[in-house]
Structure 1
């Protein structure tokens, strides 16, 4: 990895850990990244962290003691203590420089090297060596000194022969060695050499056999290079050396054949094809040997992979040595066949080719993770199994599982302790730098690491098990916050299934695919660590924190599963609305009403209520004029413990609130239709029949919707949820079951965005119920007023006849007496509320009369008769009913959702109320 790419990767991690900017804010992330990289690049002379240097030195001392190098650790500790009085500003830099220069100090350091640091004593006498004596005495110039005296018996005189040249650098033997040689017959080199019978002939033959290496490849008369013939045995020896990565004469360092040689007795084309085949083998193995011979990697996963490659190459080299040994010490005639050797090495070379391809592929890819080797090895093992290459399957499978053992370490630590290994970049779980609230620990404290393209930072073959791994660790974290966690040392640890090749790929299951064998073994391994923590946490949530009671409370409050308590709460609100009372429009009063109504199904201290002022109308009359006003403002709040909030999130509570409002609106329409104002004897029969016909249809529609909600939506889904909870294994499973339940009921009750027009049309039908009752009450009030007016006029006529028979009095007196007896103070517009007998009426009656007058005045202003209004409302109902039924049919046919069947069933229920011919008024 280049310096800039590594700096960019580290900068991204720094921004993620410190700034915690969401990945959706790409512009802000890009700005932070550019400014941070620029700041880092401009800092050319950064100071050394003195505390980190001190920690490294302290850790080095401890390491010496751990690896049984205590004297070396004591020496380092003594010198660190001696350095303290001489510390200055540059001491950390110097120590850091020395630490960077160190190379495996625990293995390569020798305590004896410290003696060289001591200054020599001033009075010490230098040691005298024979080399110095020879130089001072001039032994090199005395040529006679280097003559060898031959005391041969046949010679009467001393024959001397001089060496060809005296050595330039004299090396004199010690006196003890020189005195051991007799003066009369000094040994010669020939005397000291071991002489074998026929040795000269053997040496000559060896030199002749290797003479082909020194042959000159001149050009023949036709200008072609002359070929030097070699034997099959010589080629075999060169091939073995080449495959072991050693220099040869037939192949250059790039494993290409050297021109100028040919195999005896075969054509050039045959030799060229054969030697190129071996050359290709060497070229394929070269990247593998280069990678295996490099300096050890820093990451443990790469270290074990490199070690596995070295073992595989060592095994292959041992096989080459065995083959070579067959032809070195032969006890009988052996046929040297290069083709047979190539065939023999084929099964051993196949997995090495695959490993070499893996190394080259990773080298070509940019910014690869360490676990990329695991992915390629996993694919290679499966491919070898499908091809039927048993040797390659075993070798590649063993290497893969050996490497995977190292990758299991962070997974094991996470699933057993709920913690992450410091500095581990290969794991796929990260921890948020921000500290979340308690109920957000499960969702926000830990997260899966993904690339900008959305790819998980983990091997592909682990994708099916990633969620369970994450959940197991998060369960441990939550148990620690609940003070219910037992460390591994204090609890009974489940036996961990082995993950080696013998256990994963046993002979009994050799015909099964490797992916299936590995998946089953890894699932067993995860289950041994996953089941305990997850089940313990679920038991605590259900038993200690009442998760089941929380579900029941939500159903009672928001889904109105208890009809009696729900009616008690809703009826109180509806009566206040009909009486134009504003006393309930307060969160404290509303909380008291809710706690009193739902006291049998929920704990009172956990229940409260609130009012959303956005849905409150300006006047009491407008508040009751539609189900879209006032009712959506009512908010029930059920306070859950923070462990339960990990499963039932605030966003899901909003879904419950949506269902609560819709049920409250349905109950509002049913309440008005079930409590009508009875007509008087003076009510026209036609008006009563029209009213009761429309009221019956509206009541049928509302009851159909309510029956659909309770019997076809809530009851089946609640039963399905309860059954699914029995099989849940962890918090995420319970949360998923609850989320699916809530999504289903919201979808099946037409609360989604796609069915919003249908839901609005249903609310329009509910508003028709309010409008119908308002019109009916206005008509009843008008008829009652007409009766009172007729009675008043008849009383007034009788009084006039009686006054004519009496004596005439003064006009002022007669007029005053007439008005006092007949009550003419009540005007024709019906506003006679100034009499003494009306002063005792309560405020509710006054508001009700005022509302009746406003409706009557509004009807008179429009000039519409009651029959016309009823006919218009009936037409609106028929139109809304057809729209809802046809809309549900259309959406059900064009949707693939599970709720489509329920929509179709609701449409069928509503179509039963549609008539071909409208009622004629």
Structure 2
């Protein structure tokens, strides 16, 4: 199959390398391509028989076991099983070569030879230690870096040499000394004379934290705090640090109260700070969490950077609080809240996204972050919150860059990231035939509700992404992916906030900016693959030529060829020959009829036993009804597997239905092709042929009208529209568009030809009319044969009784009258020929009215596009009702 996939492309390269004919001379290149293809297909060098190779390998395994080399047999069986998962088109040839090169494998094969195929493991490098780092960087000789500096008041750089500076490097880096340093207290630091007083001052300033919340009489009271203490605790709480004024849930502790203000004012202030901290709490949790998904890791990093920027702002406020340089720099709780308001707004919007995702409790919440970020960016732009718009927009594109990685891999290489559960494309676990790769090898993932498992803002681009990756997969199977990779010159557009949403476009809707940029990004990946695959389908694999062949065979666009094929089938039916059931005879008839317009080696014919009305029906039954034999005849035209991507199996079934319907109409015309002249002498019971010609004319008119409708109003316009939709030179038509266009063509032709389920009764009535034609000619032929028999009998009686003519005149009249009565019995029904013709005429009029009325009714009750054609056909048939 790999050779067949690459054959068309290799033929084009061969022609271009040998002849140098430019691509503009399409007719000459097409002629050469067809000649080379026929030459290659008729070569005498066959491929290796893969089944024979398998049998030889299994036989070799059995021989090992019989000769007592069970371990070698098990090793061979294990490797053969492993090889089945890595089969390539050339695997049988390679195995066959190895079998031919084998020299007495039972005696000479050694299992130990397999050890030579195992690469030796590299020795692990020695562990890196701090001792080695100190030796290499020279830390061991720089003893000043181990000096202990005392930062207490009054110290200087000259006399701050600690006794520990002369200790060895090992003692300085030991665990015991680190533990001793960690256990030191504030008293150990205060080594200067002023240290005790300073330590006492610090302890007094923090005494409010441990003050009792009851007075000397045991009654509850509020512990007073200063504004500085309130601000410091509030800023620590906003930074995510533990405080005494707020608990771990950011709720205010009620035993403290700001000095000099009422309880209501104090509660309002601390509640305002608590609400701010509560909004930031989800972000602190996300920043400290451990994430496994790459997208969530990037989102976590963005949250950490946003919190770090906010913490820097808190540090600036703290610096102003502890280092007031001017009297006008007054820091109050209300001013801090007003100052932090613009900084908190973007973080609050980001925290709302985190809170919303956690409330949903979905297992796959990575995509929800992208969706909610996209929605929040659009909302912030509409509300005019520029800071929020920029922060969320930057975070969105940072996260989207991670989500673009599997999309980029899929669109450039046609591959999926193993184990990626956040992507919306999945591959089938089984290996499918090449014609089914495009349709069934990959699928879009959907949840139980039918929603696509992808961010909703990507819905407009999902189909193009899916098609681009499948195009790469098919090109790999054709052997053309490397050429695309080498000639890929389109630069990938940047997908970041600064490029897509510059300041000069701040009033443009974010959704429009994103969609425009993402469509350009997809076009850079999709265009080359789509154009190359479409060109290969038309140039190398002859999509247009194969569609024309299908129309000639199944849609009977070439009337002369179709008549030649149909006439040969009908002759077998009329002579009651069994040739119409022989697939070899049918194939010969089809190839001979269509030899001038299609590749005959691709064409074959069979009879489907399941499609026969009755498997035990005789040749007479097959001849007497269009429902018996004709629906069982199947034509098969083998297409190259890339063409099968566009022409699916369902489409071929519809082609077959259209072919059968036209064949049935041609069967009725074949029966009526030559009128059977009635006998006007020798005692015919139907001396007046008017009724016969009337019925025959109406049947001919009906069949010709129906075929004219199918040919000129259904099939020809649909085929012309198909060629326009496919457009081999259109740059914006990809393979999915071609598949959809061909499926639309087939569905339209089937519906307009009255082959849908809604018109089943009408179609049955049309087939009844076709059977009326067969019944009419059979009745006329029976009457002709009986008339000839009566004439022969009469002449014989006249010769034998010529002498007694006068005496037996009355007897002769009785014989003639009896002959007329005998001829009036048609088919043993007891009805005269004239009565049968009248019944056929009445039946035709009834069926014609039913067909026209049914088409009118369904057309009026339907909103389908084919309803207009049904109404037109009804109008054409109503002309016959007035005849």
State the TM bucket, normalised to the shorter chain. Answer: 0.7 to 0.9
CA distance in 1, matches of 2:385, 2:575: 88
SS at match of 1:637: strand
- Specify the alignment match of 1:321 in structure 2: 315
Query: Is 1:402 paired with 2:453?
Result: no
Which residues of 2 match residues 109-148 of structure 1 at below 5 A? 110=129, 112=131
Residue 738 of structure 2: which of 718, 734, 747 is its match? 734
Query: Is 1:882 paired with 2:849?
Result: yes
Give yes or no for contact 1:230–1:261 (8 Å, CA) kept in 2.
Answer: yes
Give yes or no for contact 1:232–1:336 (8 Å, CA) kept in 2.
Answer: no
- Specify the alignment match of 2:600 in structure 1: 604
Query: Is 1:563 paired with 2:564?
Result: no
Which residues of 2 match residues 532-681 of structure 1 at below 5 A? 532-614=528-610, 615=612, 618-681=617-680
Q: What is the CA-CA distance between 1:371 and the residue it aligns to?
A: 2.7
Residue 907 of structure 1: which of 865, 870, 874 is its match? 874
SS at match of 2:634: strand
Q: What is the CA-CA distance between 1:735 and the residue it aligns to?
A: 1.3
CA distance in 2, matches of 1:473, 1:329: 62
SS at match of 1:608: strand
Residue 886 to residue 511, structure 1, CA distance change in 2 (3 Å): farther
In angstroms, what is the RMSD of aligned CA positions?
Answer: 3.5
CA distance in 2, matches of 1:802, 1:442: 91
- Specify the alignment match of 2:302 in structure 1: 308
Q: What is the CA-CA distance between 1:402 and the residue it aligns to?
A: 0.3
CA distance in 1, matches of 2:404, 2:374: 15
CA distance in 2, matches of 1:432, 1:190: 69
Render the CA deviation track for 1:668-691: whole Å, top value 9, x for unaligned.
Answer: 112222322123434678742212
Q: What is the CA-CA distance between 1:220 and the residue it aligns to?
A: 9.6
CA distance in 1, matches of 2:287, 2:833: 98
- Specify the alignment match of 2:700 in structure 1: 699
SS at match of 1:497: coil
- Specify the alignment match of 2:717 in structure 1: 716
Moved more, 903-912 or 750-759: 903-912
CA distance in 1, matches of 2:267, 2:193: 43
Q: What is the CA-CA distance between 1:330 and the residue it aligns to?
A: 2.4
CA distance in 1, matches of 2:538, 2:549: 14
Q: What is the CA-CA distance between 1:229 and the residue it aligns to?
A: 3.8
CA distance in 2, matches of 1:484, 1:784: 73
Q: What is the CA-CA distance between 1:456 and the residue it aligns to?
A: 3.1
CA distance in 2, matches of 1:772, 1:508: 83
Q: What is the CA-CA distance between 1:755 and the residue it aligns to?
A: 1.6
Residue 325 of structure 2: which of 313, 331, 337 is its match? 331
- Specify the alignment match of 2:271 in structure 1: 276
Query: Is 1:862 paired with 2:829?
Result: yes
- Specify the alignment match of 2:15 in structure 1: none
SS at match of 2:426: strand
Q: What is the CA-CA distance between 1:389 and the residue it aligns to?
A: 1.5
SS at match of 2:571: helix
Q: What is the CA-CA distance between 1:403 and the residue it aligns to?
A: 0.8
Residue 241 of structure 2: which of 232, 246, 256 is its match? 246
CA distance in 2, matches of 1:406, 1:857: 90
- Specify the alignment match of 2:113 in structure 1: none
Q: What is the CA-CA distance between 1:224 and the residue it aligns to?
A: 7.2
Query: Is 1:378 paired with 2:374?
Result: yes
Render the CA deviation track for 1:813-840: whole Å, top value 9, x for unaligned.
Answer: xxxxxxxxxxxxxxx999xxxxxxxxxx
Which residues of 2 match residues 186-205 of structure 1 at below 5 A? 193=192
Query: Is 1:776 paired with 2:743?
Result: no
Give yes or no for contact 1:531–1:729 (8 Å, CA) kept in 2.
Answer: no
Render the CA deviation track for 1:395-445: whole Å, top value 9, x for unaligned.
Answer: 111111101111111111121112222332322222222221222222233
Which residues of 2 match residues 726-765 of structure 1 at below 5 A? 726=727, 727=730, 729-765=733-769
- Specify the alignment match of 1:389 in structure 2: 385
Query: Is 1:226 paired with 2:230?
Result: no
- Specify the alignment match of 2:864 in structure 1: 897
- Specify the alignment match of 1:798 in structure 2: 802
CA distance in 2, matches of 1:266, 1:449: 62
Q: What is the CA-CA distance between 1:552 and the residue it aligns to?
A: 0.2
Query: Is 1:353 paired with 2:348?
Result: yes
**Structure 2, unpaired ranges of 5+:** 1-84, 86-117, 135-161, 168-187, 809-817
SS at match of 1:859: coil
Q: What is the CA-CA distance between 1:591 and the residue it aligns to?
A: 1.1
- Specify the alignment match of 1:100 in structure 2: none
Give yes or no for contact 1:680–1:780 (8 Å, CA) kept in 2.
Answer: yes
Query: Is 1:441 paired with 2:437?
Result: yes
SS at match of 2:604: strand
SS at match of 2:802: helix
CA distance in 2, matches of 1:701, 1:176: 118
Render the CA deviation track for 1:737-783: whole Å, top value 9, x for unaligned.
Answer: 11111111111112122221111111111111111121122223333
Which residues of 2 match residues 346-495 of structure 1 at below 5 A? 346-364=341-359, 365-486=361-482, 490-495=486-491
Query: Is 1:75 paired with 2:75?
Result: no
Q: What is the CA-CA distance between 1:226 and the residue it aligns to?
A: 2.4
SS at match of 1:912: helix
Residue 856 to residue 233, structure 1, CA distance change in 2 (3 Å): farther
CA distance in 1, matches of 2:313, 2:220: 36
Which residues of 2 match residues 48-63 of structure 1 at below 5 A? none
Residue 905 to residue 716, structure 1, CA distance change in 2 (3 Å): same
- Specify the alignment match of 1:789 in structure 2: 793
Give yes or no for contact 1:287–1:356 (8 Å, CA) kept in 2.
Answer: yes
Q: What is the CA-CA distance between 1:394 and the residue it aligns to?
A: 1.0
CA distance in 2, matches of 1:781, 1:532: 72
The TM-score normalised by the length of structure 1 is 0.71
Give yes or no for contact 1:362–1:368 (8 Å, CA) kept in 2.
Answer: no
Render the CA deviation track for 1:468-509: whole Å, top value 9, x for unaligned.
Answer: 222212222221221212167633332000000112222343
CA distance in 1, matches of 2:712, 2:465: 40
Render the CA deviation track for 1:776-826: whole Å, top value 9, x for unaligned.
Answer: 22223333333333333333331556999xxxxxxxxxxxxxxxxxxxxxx
- Specify the alignment match of 1:767 in structure 2: 771
CA distance in 2, matches of 1:269, 1:210: 25
Residue 267 of structure 1: which of 262, 265, 290 is its match? 262
CA distance in 1, matches of 2:346, 2:656: 63
Give yes or no for contact 1:369–1:426 (8 Å, CA) kept in 2.
Answer: no
Which residues of 2 match residues 831-850 of structure 1 at below 5 A? none
Give yes or no for contact 1:220–1:226 (8 Å, CA) kept in 2.
Answer: no
Q: What is the CA-CA distance between 1:878 and the residue it aligns to?
A: 1.9
CA distance in 1, matches of 2:839, 2:220: 112
Give yes or no for contact 2:370–2:396 (8 Å, CA) kept in 1.
Answer: yes
- Equivalences, count: 703
Q: What is the CA-CA distance between 1:312 and the residue it aligns to?
A: 0.7
CA distance in 1, matches of 2:234, 2:595: 92
SS at match of 2:606: strand
The TM-score normalised by the length of structure 2 is 0.74
Q: What is the CA-CA distance between 1:584 and the residue it aligns to?
A: 4.0
Q: What is the CA-CA distance between 1:573 and the residue it aligns to?
A: 1.7
Q: What is the CA-CA distance between 1:341 and the residue it aligns to?
A: 2.6
SS at match of 2:309: helix
Give yes or no for contact 2:685–2:823 (8 Å, CA) kept in 1.
Answer: no
SS at match of 2:581: coil
Give yes or no for contact 1:242–1:248 (8 Å, CA) kept in 2.
Answer: yes
CA distance in 2, matches of 1:382, 1:687: 87
**Structure 1, unpaired ranges of 5+:** 1-19, 21-54, 62-72, 77-108, 116-171, 178-188, 805-827, 831-852
SS at match of 1:674: coil
Give yes or no for contact 1:347–1:392 (8 Å, CA) kept in 2.
Answer: no
CA distance in 2, matches of 1:486, 1:496: 19
CA distance in 2, matches of 1:386, 1:671: 74
CA distance in 1, matches of 2:486, 2:508: 39
